[in-house]
Amino acid sequence: MIKKLVFAIFLFTSLNAQGQENLNFNKNKEITSPEISVDNSLTFRLMAPNAKKVELQGDLLGKSDPVAMTKQNDGLWSYTTSPLKPELYSYSFIVDGLKIRDANNVYQIRDVASVVNVVIVPGGKADNYLVKDVPHGTVSKRWYKSPGNEKDRRISVYTPPGYEDDKKKYPVFYLLHGMGGDEEAWLALGRTAQILDNLIAQGKATPMIVVMPNGNVAQAAAPGEDSKGQYKPTMQLPNTMDGKMEETFMDIIKFIEGNYRVKADHAHRAIAGLSMGGFHSLHISRFYPKTFDYVGLFSPAIMPFGKTTSPVYENFEVTLKNQFDKGLKLYWIGIGKTDFLYKSVADYRKKLDETGAKYIYSESEGGHTWSNWRDYLVLFTQQLFKKP
């Protein structure tokens, strides 16, 4: 009995020591990466004594090509950037040709089938992305019945601070992701909850419910979150931009208006989306006129992808004119100057101009990036549901 007790104590002590070693409690081995300097430069570090080549890749470099990191005598590789503008940046290491995560940075985000580390350089617009000491809203993941898709589907819902404590009704903003995304994209990559919390606290945005659906109707939920189990996410899924999402969108509105305290009229509904989500927002708002008084197109795709027989895309010019004739409080378009969709958006704006449609246009630097889409979200939400 004594031998067993001694062995158990030895085993516990050994495992505990290993656990603490894995948690990096040994300060002699502690590595900070990335480290933000007072001038907003970032220093990245990776311990890889046996590596022959280590590179850094990420949007913080302002280019797609990676840069070489420098090896010290102790096997620690490092690279320091020039001072950076406030922003949320993503990055990876490439060690002898193999892309890996930064083991010293626990903050990671999945973007379609890739996982990258992220870091926020504070100040300026990036302060909107930080969790601050302000009242916070609630993010929930709900399942709703979609008769049009013959399945239960998952949706993300942000309710503003105080929703659980009062009996007021709130306006609703439906926010749609791009191709390859899902109901988690705007929360993780778009920082929607943090942005809304901060804007509402500053009095810049009206308290609102934000609904983030999964725009891939072939999915019940994000990868790994439904009965299909764990599989590698892909960019293009069945029923992508073929009209099915638009045809069944009222299933989402019905669920929200049946389960949340909302102001259920067109004056208190908004819809917006990025890329494919911009495409969906354009056509949903046109196909169901007088359902949304606020429409936002963030770097939108314009026309259907491939062949489709959906009635959603029929009589485009007539139904578009009908939408504007019925009245809109805001039709907002934003795109980057180097976005690959820039020309198609310019052509669409020309069509709107020819019909005399009134809209607000915002042109930014850069391309088809989350940096732009977060900016558009900040700009768009501040214009929603304002009293005359």
The first and second tokens of residue 381, run together, are: 């939400």
pLDDT recorded at residue 304: 61
From CA 134, how far away is CA 113, in angstroms rounded? 33
The token duo for 198 is 């901060």
Q: How far is CA 136 from the centre of its chain?
A: 18
What is the pLDDT, as a whole number, of residue 305?
Answer: 57
Cα dihedral 228, 91, 272, 251, rounded to 10, equals: 10
Contact 350, 342 (CB under 8 A): no
pLDDT at 306: 56
* CATH no. for 26-122: 2.60.40.10
Query: pTM of this prediction?
Result: 0.90
User: What topology is assigned to 129-381 in CATH?
Assistant: Rossmann fold (3.40.50)
pLDDT at 5: 45
pLDDT in the model for residue 228: 86
Domains of the chain by residue range: 26-122, 129-381
Residue 117 and residue 108: Cα distance in Å, rounded?
4
Helix, strand, coil distribution of the chain in percent, nearest 5: 30, 25, 45
Which residues of the chain register pLDDT less than 50? 2-27
CA distances from residue 354 to 142, 282, 321 in whole angstroms, order as listed: 42, 18, 11
Q: Report d(CA 277, CA 181) in Å as an integer.
A: 9
Cβ within 8 Å of residue 15, ≥6 positions away:
none
Confidence at residue 27, expressed as pLDDT on a 0 to 100 scale: 46
> Which residue's structure tokens are 């901060």?
198
pLDDT of residue 23: 42
The tens digit of pLDDT for each residue in 153-200 reads 999 999 999 999 999 999 999 999 999 899 999 999 999 999 999 999
